[in-house]
A and B are shown apart, each in its own frame.
Chain A
Amino acid sequence: MSLTIIKAGILDSIQDEGRFGFQASGINPGGAMDVFSARLANCLLGKPMNAAVIEIHFAAPVVSFNEVAIICITGANFTPEIGDREIQINQPVIVNKNAVLQFKKVKQGARCYLAVLNNFTLAPWLNSYSTNLKAAAGGLHGGQLESGDIIPFEKIDALNNYLKEETSIVLPWKAYPEDLTVPNKLEVIKGSEWDWLDENSQQTFLNTPFKITKVADRMGYRLSGKGLHLKEQKQLVSSAVSFGTLQLLPSGQLILLMADHQTTGGYPRVANVISAHLPLLAQSRTNDAISFAITDIQTAEQKLLQQFNYLQQVQYAAGFKIEKILQ
């Protein structure tokens, strides 16, 4: 009733939608970088969206299942294989006891999510399973997954008779979320300090591409592009920031805050990437070029709602199918 990390990847951790309610204490929400994909992995199994999943980077781990389980992988495509057979992302698979999951190469994206129908039996920290690496809390043991780690999950008796000799069975439903998650341009809402930028810089921000530098991790991405300038040198007293906030550093370059951002910051907040477009950013990598376009809050809200409605439909449909399998 568990899975074993036979060989750890470069950065694997337990995440969920994040830990909210403690930012006033300086404890950041964290959570999955690509929240949409983390939710989709759960929804394809008919599970609650906020269930804990494993976030995987490349080089990815080798995982063995110590009990029959139904799994689903979403987000990046790292060419997952079970027993030498490639499996598709966004499609659930029943895996047999002792099946081994590994990832061969990066086809697309930066991080994938592994959801297991059998709930992980972990202790939440401050109402969330997300791993807070800085506070060394949450997740399995407060840290990234290591070789030999065993993640316990619930046993589902009904699955025992499902597989005979097979290592795995691919289940016949699949999601195609690309239309909802891959926009042409990243849309942003003007930030509180947008007006601090001089007019040239506002134009530069909207009309020139920026590149993701190699300083890019769960905390944030440093971007490189044409320098941006303030109308006048002003200091901002520290104030809250969020996932997707674009801050202007004194060097004139931007930093884009991601899931493990600090709760507050003192750099001007030029703009914020809309929530619906954060998944694409989470799947972007060093040297990728990105461009920004301004949108309004109402449009941003509707796009987020659209994604959420889609996820609920997937969850509802998959829930029925899973129930049939377990009957």
Chain B
Amino acid sequence: MSLALLSYRITQLVCLLPVTLGVVGTLLPSFGYFPVAGFHQLTGNYYEMFWQAPGLSSMVMATLVSGSLAISISLLLTITIFSVFYNSSSWKIWRNFLSPMLAFPHAAFALGVMFLVTPSGWYARFLALFFPELNSPPAWHTVHDVYGMTLGIVLGLKELPFLMLMALSACNQVNVSQLLRVGQSLGYHPIYVWLKIIWPQLLPQMRLPIIAVIAYSFSVVDIARILGPTTPPTLAVAIMQWFSSEQLEQRLLGSAGAVCLLVLTGVLMVGWLALEQWLVGKDGRCLINGIRSRLSLGWQWLAHITQWLVWGVWVTAVLSIVLWAFSWRWRYPDFIPSEFSLKVGLRYSDKLLSLLETTWFLALMTSVIGLLLVLGLLEAKKAQQRYALSWLYLPLLIPQVSFLFGFQWLLVSFNLDGTWTGIIWSHLIYVIPYICLALAGYLKHFDQRYLTVATMLSGRPRYSYWRIKMAMLLWPISFALAVGVAVSVAQYLPTLFAGAGRVSTLTTEAVSLAQGADYRVTGIFALAQLVVPLITYGCAFLMPYCIYRRFSMMRI
């Protein structure tokens, strides 16, 4: 077996085994079969229990509201930004900041927003400068709100860069500038060219990322713990609580819930596919109604306002993290901290360093292994066909809570729970698809003749592969490595399940500290969490630059 085929098979094993066995390992307990804990009786009782769980309707409501908000916000914003700002002056800013925005860990972003919108947050403090009645915090339901609106908005803003990057790569398949010219010559305003001609072609290309966002938004746990409703929480968080209950029966209840969540997200995905068909189907009525520029000015205004709002939230979120991390005393309603200090940071320095070490080690190990596997697998003949690698993205389409519980049992039975191997494996499930997304395009567009020439010249295929192909692809490869690091750093549930509580990373620590409500400490951990991917991105950018600065073709 060639090395390429070997990595193809290994990757299949690494990515698919946890998901398939994990789902089975969740499905069986949900029907009462859970031999490790002494349950053998097949029964539907746990679904009944789930059906009667206190507050189920509110849980489902909060899940649906937050998830739908997230997907609508991210998708509508992506569509608006592309339609209005494509190749305009702000387009450059968007393009440059997409990758760092994507690398921004979910939890850190959620914490940053939490610092802004809580009743005693920065926005309330800002308003208190002008309204004296806000001298004690207002009774806003801005975090932990019953319907999970804040959660949905934050999720939407966080998924925005992902969808935008995916849309950008989908644009490569469609000749955008030509379509724009043609459309405009038919008298359509560019916004309407996008809406009526380009997006109907892009949306089908973006099916996979969009349903991945759906799967994620309806089953997120870490952000929901930070910002979501509490009495009762969203479905995914409730399932997690059942999974970690000291009463074993509750775990079976959790499995039943996880299966129901899986079905729910499945239904929603199918719903999106139907909606997409309806929107861009062959004779979609609004596509051919002839409207060419109605309200385009209004669209533009709206787009500008939302753009500034989005940027505002991102910038203030980062700023508030930094301020909290370096403050000592910042009591409401002070607009800025009354006392700055490094004391809190120093107090946690030992812990921070050891967590940084663990997090970085895990992230680098995972990314390097993932990168090697992806490089190998993309060379395999099997990977060349269209849709040949669809299976790779399966983990992104299944809610984490719906298979990680089963995966944990797989790890326990191999005695891998709480080991580095187990955690690295659990991260690889997510790191591999993202590395592949980041790399596949570059590898596909690489002119294979360079390698042919090099092999003919040197007579050494392996050497040529590394010295020519890999060296020429150094920038995309180090970028993919950085993507891998960012994905690994952001993993919360996989670390929790596979780590058996023994291994904590910056992310698990930051999420559990968010409950602690010492915002200074939370700020420090959020800052540390976001420093890791940013530094990695910096290196990924600088290293090839330094190595190749003499060669103009190698510049980014």
Q: Do A and B bind each other?
A: no
